[in-house]
Structure 1
Amino acid sequence: MKNFLYNHSLILFLVVMLGRGFIGMFAVKGIQFFDPSLNIQEDLGWFIMLIYATCAFLAVKWVKIDKEIGLKMPSSSKAWIVWLPFLIIPLTLAYVLGFNSTWGHVPFLLIAAVCVAVNEEILFRGILLRAILPFGNAVAIIVPSLLFGAAHLGNIFVGGDVTYALFQFGWVTFGGMALTAMVLANKSLLPAIVFHFVLDAVEYAATGEYGVHSSDYSLKLLSVFFLLNVAFFLYALFLLKKSKTNSQQVTDAFINAR
């Protein structure tokens, strides 16, 4: 079974997606059986994300593809530095939305932000990217990111605002393509996980919600955030192209030296 899943990353992706969903659903139903007043949006979001992240992490460790998909330190500190311009996105969120959480709620929001980052990066920039990468970089960047964006549309069915969810699909898709390009350039998931955590932590602290937003936001704000993610994507493509050029130059120099 382990060898089969190692050689079929797409099936592994589906197994983890479905498996974590069922485990999370039964866990929530079990908690709500004892306390029906608890709901996902306000109370149990962090717990579900903890289950999801644990399932994803244990799956890649069990199949032994954790290092292969990038759960290792980057080879250079430059792999961290190039992410600094992207901090304009969480800084913009913090400036516009401020802080809207009780301090007692903050630890749960941070747990949720860490777990969302670990879960989604392992699934979409790890397992799924590994499955689709043989079809070329372009397909590997676009397809997982579209699925990543589509997955967020599910927030509509658990109380999320429809307009917000549609904009979220757009910026998550472009942001996902940017993250994928950065993972390909850095050969590591860790910077992507850290950046993803920072972004979600700021968002959750600003809204007081676990990423499922029922509040109304202005079209101007939603559009600005969408454009920031498009810019993020273009910058990431530039870095990926630059990394490939540098890698080719090193290869050529090695061949010439021989």
Structure 2
Amino acid sequence: MKNFLYRHGLVLFLVVIIGRGLIGMFAVKGIQSINPALTIEKDLGWLIMLIYATCVILVVKWVKIDKEIGLTKPSSLKDWYVWLPTLIIPITLAFYLGFNSTLGHIPLLLIAAVGVAVNEEILFRGILLRAILPFGEAVAVIIPSLLFGIAHLGNIFVGGDLTYGLFQFGWTFFAGMALTAMVLANKSLLPAIAFHFVLDAVEYGATGAYGVHSTEFSIQWLSIFLLLNLAFFLYSLYLLKKSKTNQHQIKFAATPTK
């Protein structure tokens, strides 16, 4: 079974998606059977994300693809520094939304942010990227990111605002492509996980919700955030192209002359 999942990355991706979903659903239903007043949006989001993150980590460790998908430290500090310009996104988010959470709620919001970052990066920029990369780099950048965006449309069906959900699909698609390109350039998932955590921690702290927002946001703000993620995508393409050029130059310099 382990060898089969190792060889068939798309099957592994589906197994993890379905398996962690079922485990999370049964956990929530069990808790809600005791206290029906608890909701995913306000109360149980952190638990679901913790379950999801635990599931994906255990699976990649069991199948032994953790290092293969980039769960290793970047080769140099430069691979961290290139992410600094992307912090304009959470900074803008914090400036616009402010902070609207109670101190007692912060630990749960941070747990949720860690869970989301670990879960989504390992799934989409790890397991799925590894499975699709043999079909070409362009396909590997686009397809997992499209699925990443579609996955966020599910928030609409658990209490999220429709307009927010549609814009969220757009920016998660662009952000997904950006993160994929950055992972390909860095050959490590850790900076992507760190950036994803910071972004979600700011969002959750600003709204007091676990990524599912029933509150309406202005079209202007949603559009700005969409454009920021588009800029992130263009920046990531530049870095990916630059990394490939550097690799080519290193390979050329290492080629012995006759």
Which residue pairs with 1:94 in the alignment?
A: 94
SS at match of 1:104: helix
Superposed displacement of residue 146, structure 1: 0.2
How far the C-alpha of 1:257 sits from its partner, in A, is: 4.9
Query: Could you tell me which amino acid in structure 1 is paired with residue 221 of structure 2?
Result: L
Which structure 2 segments of 5+ residues have no match?
A: none
2:132 matched to 1:132?
yes
Amino acid at match of 2:50: L
TM-score by length of structure 2 reads 0.99
Aligned to 2:210: 210
Percent identical residues: 76
**Cα distance, 1:154 vs structure 2:** 0.3
What's the Cα RMSD here? 0.7
Runs of 4+ in 1 over 6 A off after TM superposition: none
2:166 and 2:104 map into 1 onto residues whose CA distance is 31
Question: What is the CA-CA distance between 1:34 and the residue it aligns to?
Answer: 1.2
Q: 1:8 to 1:196 in 2, by over 3 A?
A: same
Letter in 2 for 1:254: A
Mapping 1:148-163, distance limit 5 Å: 148-163=148-163
1:111-190 aligned within 5 A: 111-190=111-190
Please tell me the residue identity of whatever aligns with 1:248. H
TM-score by length of 1: 0.99
2:230 matched residue in structure 1: 230
Amino acid at match of 1:147: L
Distance 2:86 2:256 in 1: 37
AA partner of residue 20 (structure 2): R
Which letter maps to 2:87? L
Distance 2:31 2:257 in 1: 65
- The Cα of 1:171 is off from its aligned counterpart by 0.3
- 1:22 alignment partner in structure 2: 22
Q: For each residue in 1:49-73, what CA deviation from the matched residue of structure 2 results, as whole angstroms up to 9, or x when unmatched?
A: 0000000010000000000000000
Q: Partner of 1:194 in structure 2?
A: 194
Secondary structure of the corresponding residue to residue 185 of structure 1: helix
- Give 1:242's aligned residue: 242
Which amino acid is 2:212 matched to? V
Distance 2:32 2:210 in 1: 18
- Give the letter aligned to residue 214 of structure 1: S
| Residue segments in structure 1 that go unaligned for 5+ positions in a row | none
Whole-Å separation in 2 of the counterparts to 1:21 and 1:208: 23
